[in-house]
């Protein structure tokens, strides 16, 4: 009996230690840092992917979507590789980083994923395509390029396994970006070409059915499926390391493909990005978010998931981690877009800026130089040559094949699409609910006056905020050497020809 108080004291002390241990363990669990694995494609149209009902064969991506969250309204600001990736990694818009034209680099003071995650104890690495700069703005652990030609998947997996294993052995969380070239033309079909019959593919509403288009579309799909195989390999690698429960896996299709009305435009097919993410036990399985998500929202979302504190001036995007984890919160009212035509291969001094704004239903496009100039890019150069009676060498690409087809078909929709390659109205308003391919311009329609006024006002305020109220002046400043293309009369193109959208290809060229 005399020992009871001592036993009680010892029991009480033991219980206190046990409770403290449980609390400490719980706190440690709450403070765990998830690993982050990001797989990025290269010029892949979101709507061609399995989770969005597309024809591309993507079983691993389909499975990832079934296990996590799919975003149906994710948009980039610029549909070109370098601006896209710099916006993704920095969480800042191209207006702020200065990385708006093709192959441009960010201002040196730009901060990105490594700046935010390394102080939290992360290793932050990049395998494959970079296309960002300068180094001080994007100081990833550079783990080496992977080839465009040939099967690069084994190389990417070998590099990823080494990096992940080293991080695991060191007890450090990792953020690893694997940036493939799959999806970017030219298509080397290092996947399985037999998986697709070009003749059996469905042609979208905003495209003309030609053999050249079908061939290129099939080649693109082969690479999309090859990328999907890499996703499967990376997830298998994570599982073999016993890290599935501790890893966020995020798939990003990048911007739209190098087919007409996608990349190098502000159409939905250009700026829309396919984003799918999974983290077992944290991101609910099989959810779909229809809220607007900026590409610039992804980095702040991941920083929040990693336990980092976000300062007001860090990002232009906002964390949407709540929507990653099942909420339905409206974080962004609008998604803004920009296109700078200059510095693009054979159109380096062409000035034809486009600005856009989207809400969850409508798109408004502004092409301030439409009255005096036409748009073009390297995928449209041959089509423009044919329209101006210039001979084309080395065969036809998809856009050029459309011009030739118009010569024989004469169908109004064909004429509309061929003209649309280079000619855009100054203002265009589209209702994506009834017109997902953005073909019917509602601008000036009295029934949509309120929507038009609201979107114009919001776009004007946004551009004024960033000193871009005059996009022509902005883009002129981007042209290397400070020059600018001379204005041309409305409806005219470089070279000879009537520029009215009707093809004048020579009969001998048909069928090439």
- Every domain of the chain and the residues it spans: 32-332, 339-509
The whole-angstrom separation of Cα 225 and Cα 217 is: 12
- The stretch 286-300 carries a mean pLDDT of 98
- 385: Cβ contacts below 8 Å, ≥ 6 apart: 391, 392, 400, 495
Of the chain, the percentage scoring pLDDT greater than 70 comes to 87
pLDDT for res 507: 28
Tell me the pTM.
0.89
Over 60: is that where the pLDDT of 488 sits? no
pLDDT for res 31: 60
Structure tokens at 215: 């061939």
Over 50: is that where the pLDDT of 301 sits? yes
Q: How confident is the model at residue 389 (pLDDT cuts 50, 70, 90)?
A: very high
C-alpha dihedral (261, 265, 271, 274), degrees to nearest 10: 40
DSSP state, 264? B
Over 80: is that where the pLDDT of 107 sits? yes
Q: How confident is the model at residue 344 (pLDDT cuts 50, 70, 90)?
A: confident
The whole-angstrom separation of Cα 423 and Cα 444 is: 18
C-alpha dihedral (138, 114, 176, 283), degrees to nearest 10: -120
Over 80: is that where the pLDDT of 334 sits? yes
Over 60: is that where the pLDDT of 237 sits? yes
Q: What does the angle CA 14 – CA 25 – CA 282 come to, to the nearest 5 degrees? A: 150
3-state SS assignment for residue 349: coil
Task: Give the chain's mean pLDDT.
Answer: 89
pLDDT for res 262: 97
pLDDT digits (tens, 9 = 90+) for 184-218: 999 976 789 999 999 999 999 999 999 999 999 99
pLDDT for res 24: 35
Note the CATH number of domain 32-332: 3.40.720.10
Over 90: is that where the pLDDT of 314 sits? yes
Q: Which of 176-190, 237-251, 327-341, 433-447 has the lowest mean pLDDT?
A: 176-190
């Amino acid at each position: 009996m005399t020992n009871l108080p001592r036993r009680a004291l010892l029991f009480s002390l033991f219980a206190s230690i046990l409770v403290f241990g449980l609390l400490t363990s719980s706190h440690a669990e709450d403070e765990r840092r998830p690993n982050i694995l990001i797989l990025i494609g290269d010029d892949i149209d979101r709507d061609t992917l399995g989770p969005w009902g597309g024809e591309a064969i993507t079983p691993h991506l389909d499975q990832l979507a079934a296990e996590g969250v799919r975003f149906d309204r994710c948009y980039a600001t610029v549909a070109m590789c370098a601006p896209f990736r710099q916006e993704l990694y920095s969480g800042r818009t191209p207006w702020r980083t200065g990385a708006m034209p093709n192959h441009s680099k960010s201002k040196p003071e730009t901060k990105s994923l490594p700046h935010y995650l390394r102080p939290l104890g992360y290793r932050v690495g990049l395998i494959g395509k970079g296309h960002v700069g300068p180094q001080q703005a994007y100081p990833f652990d550079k783990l080496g390029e992977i080839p465009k030609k040939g099967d690069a998947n084994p190389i990417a997996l070998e590099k990823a396994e080494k990096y992940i294993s080293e991080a695991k052995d060191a007890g450090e969380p990792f953020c690893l970006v694997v940036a493939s070239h799959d999806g970017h033309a030219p298509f080397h079909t290092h996947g399985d070409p037999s998986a697709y019959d070009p003749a059996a593919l469905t042609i979208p509403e905003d495209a003309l059915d030609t053999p050249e288009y079908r061939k290129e579309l099939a080649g693109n799909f082969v690479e999309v499926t090859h990328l999907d195989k890499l996703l499967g390999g990376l997830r298998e690698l994570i599982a073999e390391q016993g890290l599935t429960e501790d890893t966020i896996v995020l798939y990003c299709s990048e911007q739209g493909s190098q087919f007409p009305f996608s990349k190098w435009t502000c159409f939905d097919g250009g700026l829309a990005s396919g984003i799918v993410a999974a983290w077992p036990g944290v991101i609910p399985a099989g959810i779909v978010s229809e809220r607007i998500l900026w590409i610039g929202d992804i980095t702040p979302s991941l920083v929040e998931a990693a336990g980092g504190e976000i300062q007001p001036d860090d990002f232009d995007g906002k964390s949407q981690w709540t929507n990653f984890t099942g909420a339905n919160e409206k974080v962004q009212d609008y998604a803004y877009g920009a296109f700078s035509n200059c510095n693009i291969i054979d159109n380096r001094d062409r000035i034809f800026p486009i600005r856009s704004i989207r809400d969850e239903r409508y798109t408004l496009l502004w092409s301030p130089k439409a009255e005096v100039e036409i748009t073009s890019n390297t995928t449209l150069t041959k089509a423009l040559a044919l329209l101006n009676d210039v001979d084309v060498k080395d065969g036809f690409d998809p856009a050029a094949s459309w011009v030739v087809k118009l010569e024989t078909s004469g169908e109004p929709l064909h004429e509309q699409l061929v003209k649309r390659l280079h000619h855009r109205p100054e203002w265009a308003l589209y209702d994506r609910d009834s017109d997902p391919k953005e073909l019917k311009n509602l601008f000036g329609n009295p029934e949509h006056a309120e929507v038009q006024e609201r979107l114009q006002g919001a776009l004007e305020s946004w551009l004024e905020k960033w000193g871009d109220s005059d996009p022509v002046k902005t883009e002129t400043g981007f042209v290397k050497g400070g020059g600018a293309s001379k204005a041309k009369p409305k409806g005219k193109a470089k070279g000879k020809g009537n520029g009215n959208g009707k093809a004048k290809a020579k009969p001998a060229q048909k069928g090439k």
